[in-house]
Structures are given as C-alpha cells and as structure tokens.
Amino acid sequence: MMRRRHCLQLPLQLPLLWAAARVRAGTAQPAPVAQPVVVAQFGTLPAPAQVRRVFAAGPPAGVLVAALAPDKLIGWPQTLDEDARAFLGPRLAALAHTGRLSGRGSTAPLESLLQHAPDLVLDAGTADATYVSGMRRVSAQTGLATVLIQGRIADHAAQLREVGRLLGVAERGEQLAAEAQAAIDLAARLRASVPQALRPRVYYGRGADGLETGLAGSINLELLEFCAGRNVAADAGRGSLTRVSLEQLLAWNPEVIVTQDAAFARRVRSDPLWRSVAAVQTGRVHCAPALPFGWLDGPPGVNRLIGVRWLLERLHGGHAALRALEPLPQAVRRFYQLFYGAELSAQQLRRLLED
C-alpha cells in the first residue's frame, strides 16, 4: 500500500516545486543554530554612532528596529490599522507606512527609498539566496548600505544584541537580548523536561477557515516545536505553508488547536464538524493575541518572544518551570512597555489575554 502510494506521489510531485523532494523527510527537531546572525552586508556600513535613520525592508525587520531604536525607524514596512497602533507607544504609533522592499513583491520604489535618505537598510527573517541577492541589488543600485539578518526564533537574542550594536544602541540591545534569552532558556528547559512522547500534538490553524497550516520547518509554526509541542502537520513532510482538509485533521486528531485568527477560533468552538476533534472536546482551543503584532507569527519576528511564554502556558500549564515566573499579565505589560513603548491599560491587557 505504502509503496503504491509512493509511486503515485512521485510523478505528481516532481513538477510541484513547493512540495519537491523534501516531503516525508523525517522528524521536525529545530535546527541547531550555527549560522552567524548577520547573513550578508553590502555597501559601506556607517559607524554605529552615525546610524540615525533605518529603513526596515520587511515586517520582521520593522518590529526589530522598532524595539531597538524607535527613534531611528523611518516607517513601517507593513500597513498597521488603528487597532494595532493603539498597542504601540506614541512615537511608533505615529510612524507612516513606507512599504516593503523585499519578499513577495516590493511596494517601496527605490526612488522613495532614496528620498527617505536612510543610513542603513535592514532586512530580517528568511535569509536564503533570493534575499541575499535582493539586498545586493538594492545596495548596488542605490549605493546604500544594506544588512540581512538571520531571523529564526532561537536567533532572537543574538539578533537583538548584534543589531543593537549596528544601530549604535548596544546597551538597549543587551537589555532586550536578556529578555529574549530568558524566553529562549525557558523554552529550552521545558523541552529538556518533557520527552518527545509526552509533548502535546498541536494543530496550528491559519486563515479564516483554519485549514491553512505549516509543514515541518515552516518559520510560521516555529514556536510549536520550540515550546515543546508536536506539530501534527509535520507528519506530512517538510516545507512551508500548505492547505489541509478537515478529514486530514480528524485523522491527525490533535490534542490542542492554536490559532491567531479569532474568526476561526469562534468557528471551531461552535461548528459541529469540528466536534469530533480531541482538542475541541477537551476545550483546548486557544487563540493567540495578534495586536499590534502576532504572538505566534505574522510577522515571524521578535514579537513572538511574548508568544513563547503564552504558548508554554497553553501547552504545559502548571509545569514547575512556569510556576516560578512572574504572572503572565505582568510579563505582557512589561514586554509591551519594553519592546513597543506602550503602557497597556487594564482593558487592553484583558483584551489581549481573553484567549
């Protein structure tokens, strides 16, 4: 049976680039971090003290620069609605939308990039050859200095430290890196104490119908494995985002469902079709906050650091390593103050944590 299915798969998958040969490639352990944080840099980098205006090329870089040096961020690469801006400090909330420079389709023309007169163009996140060559082109064509930063969750402490130095805010970089390191260490402790077999099997539903998810190795679902959960979709192989069917979901029968989409969370709790799923029966359906940025992804940047704590509590509530920590609301308040310069009201805090 298996063999026949493989035979069927092969001719089909060959032309389908995204599924490619990597499907069914074993387990989904987070890859060890060996790469340097700065993946590539082009042009003459200004001295840190000289960096006054930074253009963030994509959403993860936008959040990174906003956290480290809000006064130096020229604008937001992503559009932010009023709802999101309400969760940012006054300086960040007032920044205009400048458009993004890399990724799927640039919306910032090079001329407007030059008009902004940045001292540095920074991109963070996925750092493959496409992005490296993109940054090289921008630098060659505009003469601006460009830097590309590695952006997996385990890199965030090093990322904050390194970019803090590049932007001339080394001290703040150290402070935020310590926060990031605490989250990374906490997750590592949990992973060390919960053996693979005891980790909950989690489905991460994206999109309004919740039937989009990510395969093993997807940066959008990194937090699942990182927080000692098992991504059920990892069974289907390695890759990035994909669509699945409800039938597939019933076959996986996850113990926990997490999402960032409130419409899907409401639907999954009330729709009779989902009633057979274990997670729904036991009430373990959790909706992560997404303001001003997602706690799980969207963008996959340093904004996820608070999501680490949140997801650990959802997956391993009552674990000894979590009991010793400051209460979650307090941690959230501190994170928003530190990273976004936002003083959360009691109402905003409640809204974030209503799950």
Partner 1 sequence: MLALALLAAVVLLAFGAGKFSISPAELWRAVAARLTGAPSGLPAAVETVVWRIRLPRVAAGLLVGMALAAAGAAYQGMFRNPLVSPDILGVSAGAGLGAAAAIYLGLPIAAVQALAFLGGLLAVGAVLAVAGLVRRHDPVLVLVLAGVAVGALLGAGISLIKILADPTTQLPSITFWLLGGLNAVTPADLAATAPALLAGLVPLALLRWRVNLLSLPDEEALALGVSVARLRLVLVAAATLATAAAVSLTGIIGWVGLVVPHVARLLVGPQFSRLLPASLLLGGGFLVATDTLARTAASIELPLGILTALVGAPFFLVLLARGGRGA
φ, ψ of residue 230 in degrees (nearest 5):
-115, 120
Note whether 299 binds partner 1 by CB under 8 A: yes
Note whether 206 binds partner 1 by CB under 8 A: yes
- Minimum distance of partner 1 from residue 197's CB (angstroms): 22
- Minimum distance of partner 1 from residue 82's CB (angstroms): 14
Note whether 236 binds partner 1 by CB under 8 A: yes
Q: What is the DSSP letter of 76?
A: B
Of 160 and 236, the one with the shorter C-beta distance to partner 1 is: 236
The one segment of 41-49, 102-110, 196-204, 302-310 that binds partner 1 by CB under 8 A:
102-110
Helix ranges (DSSP H) in the chain: 2-13, 59-68, 82-85, 90-93, 110-116, 129-142, 156-166, 170-193, 222-226, 246-252, 262-270, 278-281, 305-316, 320-323, 328-340, 346-352
Per-residue binding string, partner 1, 48-67, x by CB under 8 A, is ----------xx--------
Binders of partner 1 among 114-143, rule CB under 8 A? Answer: none
Note whether 85 binds partner 1 by CB under 8 A: no
Note whether 294 binds partner 1 by CB under 8 A: yes
Q: How far apart (Å, rounded) are the C-alpha atoms in residues 176 and 164?
A: 9
Among residues 110, 114, 132, 250, which is the contact residue for partner 1, using CB under 8 A?
Answer: 250
Of 59 and 168, the one with the shorter C-beta distance to partner 1 is: 59
Q: How far apart (Å, rounded) are the C-alpha atoms in residues 324 and 121?
A: 41
- Minimum distance of partner 1 from residue 250's CB (angstroms): 5
- Minimum distance of partner 1 from residue 23's CB (angstroms): 6
- Minimum distance of partner 1 from residue 329's CB (angstroms): 26
Note whether 217 binds partner 1 by CB under 8 A: no
Return the beta strands (E) in 200-263 as ranges: 201-205, 212-214, 230-231, 241-243, 256-259
CA–CA distances in Å: residue 207 to residues 27, 74, 294: 25, 30, 13
**Residue 310, both tokens:** 């949140």
Number of residues written out for the chain: 355
308: left (phi over 0), alpha (psi -120 to 50) or beta: alpha
Q: How far apart (Å, rounded) are the C-alpha atoms in residues 336 and 342?
A: 5
- Minimum distance of partner 1 from residue 253's CB (angstroms): 7
Note whether 109 binds partner 1 by CB under 8 A: no
Q: How far apart (Å, rounded) are the C-alpha atoms in residues 334 and 341?
A: 10
What is the total count of residues that contact partner 1 (CB under 8 A)? 55
Measured torsion, CA atoms of residues 114, 77, 217, 295, in degrees rounded to the nearest 10: 150
Among residues 110, 182, 211, 328, which is the contact residue for partner 1, using CB under 8 A?
Answer: 211
Of 24 and 350, the one with the shorter C-beta distance to partner 1 is: 24
φ, ψ of residue 100 in degrees (nearest 5):
-105, 155
**Residue 120, both tokens:** 């540095």
Q: Which residues of the shown chain bind partner 1 in the complex (CB under 8 A)?
A: 5, 8-9, 12-13, 15-16, 19, 23-24, 58-59, 78-79, 100, 103-105, 107, 206-209, 211-212, 215, 220, 235-237, 239, 241-248, 250-251, 253, 260, 263, 267, 271-273, 275-276, 294, 297-300
